[in-house]
Amino acid sequence: MDELDGNPSESQSPAADPEDPQKCPPVVTDIGALNCSSLNVESFIEQSIAIIMEDVVKKATDVTEKVCEWRSPEQLKELLDLELTDGGESESKILQHCRDAIRYSIKTSNHTTYLLNQTVKSCYHDNIVCVVSIRYTYEVAPVFTLIEDAVLRKMMEMIGWEEGGDGIFNAGGSMSNMYAVNLARYHHYPHIKELGLSAAPRLVIFTSRECHYSISKAAALLGVGTKNVYVVPSDNRGKMISSALEEQIKTAKSEGAVPFMVNATAGTTVLGAFDPIEEIADICEKYNLWLHVDACWGGAALMSQKHKHLLKGIHRANSVAWNPHKMLMACLQCSAFLVRDKTHLLQRCHSAQASYLFQQDKFYDVSYDTGDKSVQCSRKPDAFKFWLMWKALGTRELEQRVDRALAMARYLAQEVEKREGFRLLMDPEYANVCFWYIPPSLRNLSDGPEFWKKLHTVAPVIKERMMKKGSMMVGYQPHGDKANFFRMIIISPQVSKQDMDFVLDEIHNLGKDL
């Protein structure tokens, strides 16, 4: 917990450089000073908007402009510099990627392009200038198809799937987890796709008490049934108890039910806990169960040499959900579902083979028409923003973001422990810092039911006051048998120690009279 110490000047540095308010001060940790992006946000926005105005908006009604500059997948791969590397690229290079993306994309706003389908257009009323492209076939989204592929492959590399796999970006982590349930089911019982579950045995999913609620929602939606999600106890740090998992599997089998999938959570929503993936993978292998890792929140730790041990064993998973729109701060929505399978399971599981989209007599390699892997039809090109961000920052700076956020979380936890009237639920191992604020009036009460009953009412009042004052937003919730507590999650590379101090000061100021 001492990695943030020893640099008094840093802790007194201003929150932002007055010369460049976008730039935040470095945080000194045991692994060195961690900077955040040096990109000038305003300048970048101005220049990229200028490109969009010039290359998209002004050309929108110019019928002499080509609808597309057709390149085959092989040619386009050479033209676009797709590779994601350790170092970030210069602003001018990033702007050139924007120009290239526009140049080789379908000009969705040109007159004649509208004639393709009802699906492509530029828009201005939503306060956003965007090139919208639809990702079901290569021909309508050549650039974004290749970029999605490049990003997914890089993410698989981080997971440790040396032989690659498959994947897709979709509309959020809940959907990724649903995909996992469907794939696991299809892998074990492919006939259910056609025949439905009414002819099938009772299938059972295992997940921890601390998992995200989308596992339960998926079980409901997919016809598995929420009661067939067997809830495995977690330890007092929120990690699944693997011996209890094995017990549950045996119980299900003894009931005549059919276990088919285990969901391990890497980064639980409330406590930020990581299930023991290696132990769970051993059990999955023993019982031939699909192992899905919901790393929507915790996947970011894979970027960090210091913290990736939290997900040790993730390379053994059959599928992984990972949301770059969380700690890696890609803009919502940006959610990847990754599968280790290399036998087109994703395609086979979800395909409907609509003949009006996936014609087989096209003039290019139709294996690039990836749309039938999705249960959606049109999709937004979510991979592009993550790719561009990765290009700009490089793997190294993404790593620093993670390291910095986690160092800041530990600093906050340390402060909570130090301060009178604050109590930590537990030492954080990730970015979730959970704590109670105990107003002076309760500090002399003994730690019994009366104390907890009164404490339970404190956080909601402080929350109401901070919202009405507008000073900050920190969430609270009850959890299991725990009374309402604050849960602060640190992801921003811009927050400083002063911000952390401010949060605790402000909670005290808002609640000291309670």
Write down the least CB distance from residue 508 to a second copy, Å.
15
| 226 CB-near residues (< 8 Å, 6+ apart) | 216, 219, 220
361 binds a second copy (CB under 8 A): yes
| SS3 assignment for 129-185 | CEECCCCCCHHHCHHHHHHHHHHHHHHHHHHCCCCCCEEEEECCHHHHHHHHHHHHH
389 binds a second copy (CB under 8 A): yes
Determine which residue in the list 301, 327, 398, 455 makes contact with a second copy, applying CB under 8 A: 327
d(CA 345, CA 359): 20
242 binds a second copy (CB under 8 A): no
Write down the least CB distance from residue 69 to a second copy, Å.
6
Determine which residue in the list 73, 225, 276, 394 makes contact with a second copy, applying CB under 8 A: 225
Write down the least CB distance from residue 514 to a second copy, Å.
14
What would the two tokens of residue 426 be? 């537990």
Residue 404: left if φ>0, alpha if ψ -120 to 50, beta else—which one?
alpha
* Owner of token pair 């956020």: 405
Stretch of 153-161, 235-243, 274-282, 383-391 lying at the interface with a second copy (CB under 8 A) = 383-391
**Residues 165 to 184: which contact a second copy by CB under 8 A?**
170-175, 178, 182
**Residues 490 to 509: which contact a second copy by CB under 8 A?**
490-492, 494-495, 499, 502-503
**Residues 394 to 433: which contact a second copy by CB under 8 A?**
431
Determine which residue in the list 354, 427, 441, 453 makes contact with a second copy, applying CB under 8 A: 354
Whose Cβ is closer to a second copy: residue 98's or residue 338's? Answer: 98
d(CA 303, CA 297): 13
326 binds a second copy (CB under 8 A): yes
* Of residues 26, 45, 44, the one with CA closest to residue 35: 26
User: Can you list the alpha helix ranges (DSSP code H) found in 261-340?
Assistant: 277-287
List the x/- string, 66-85, binding to a second copy by CB under 8 A.
xxxxx---------------
Amino acid sitting at position 462:
I
**Residues 295 to 324: which contact a second copy by CB under 8 A?**
297
Number of residues near a second copy (by CB under 8 A): 151
E strand segments, 215-256: 229-232
d(CA 214, CA 182): 13
Whose Cβ is closer to a second copy: residue 1's or residue 467's? Answer: 467
Whose Cβ is closer to a second copy: residue 317's or residue 392's? Answer: 392
